Amino acid sequence: MDRVLMGVDPHKESVTIEARDAREILRARGRFGTSAAGYRSLMRFTKQWPQRVWAVEGANGIGRRFALRLVADGERVLDVPAKLAARARVFDTGQGRKTDATDAHAAVSVCLGGAAGQEPAGAEG
């Protein structure tokens, strides 16, 4: 099975995801709550891709809490700096309008293009 990259746009109450494989084929999109029940639902949904890697926008900022939660559960997490995601969003859409879905897409696009790859600070175990 292919590795699947999970692009994540995190917020206080929810996370929006976009899953793409190494060939950049869209596998899924979704929105999940950040409550314990929402997180369990997200993890059940993503178990279909055992070789998943999470590309979290702002894993060292706004997405830090979510990223560290994933790391604590043994998931591999990459930080996508917000400025880099914004640049990808502009290049991809031709304008800078933000939605949660376009932010999740930008996060996954940055990692598929090889531009991100740093694990969030504090995730060293």
- pLDDT, tens digit (0-9, with 9 covering 90-100), for 56-103: 988 888 889 999 999 999 999 988 876 655 555 555 555 556 666 667
Which domains are present in the chain? 4-112 (3.30.420.40)
Q: Average pLDDT in the 49-54 region?
A: 94
pTM of the model: 0.79
Report the distance separating Cα 70 and Cα 95, nearest Å.
Answer: 31
> Cβ of 25: how many Cβ atoms within 10 Å?
10
User: Which pLDDT value is given to residue 60?
Assistant: 86
Give how far the C-alpha of residue 81 lies from the chain's centroid of Cα atoms, to the nearest Å: 11
In order of 13, 42, 50, 80, 106, the CA distances from 47 in angstroms are 22, 9, 6, 22, 22
Query: What torsion, rounded to 10 degrees, do the Cα atoms 10, 16, 21, 23 define?
Result: -100
Query: Both tokens of residue 27?
Result: 């596998």
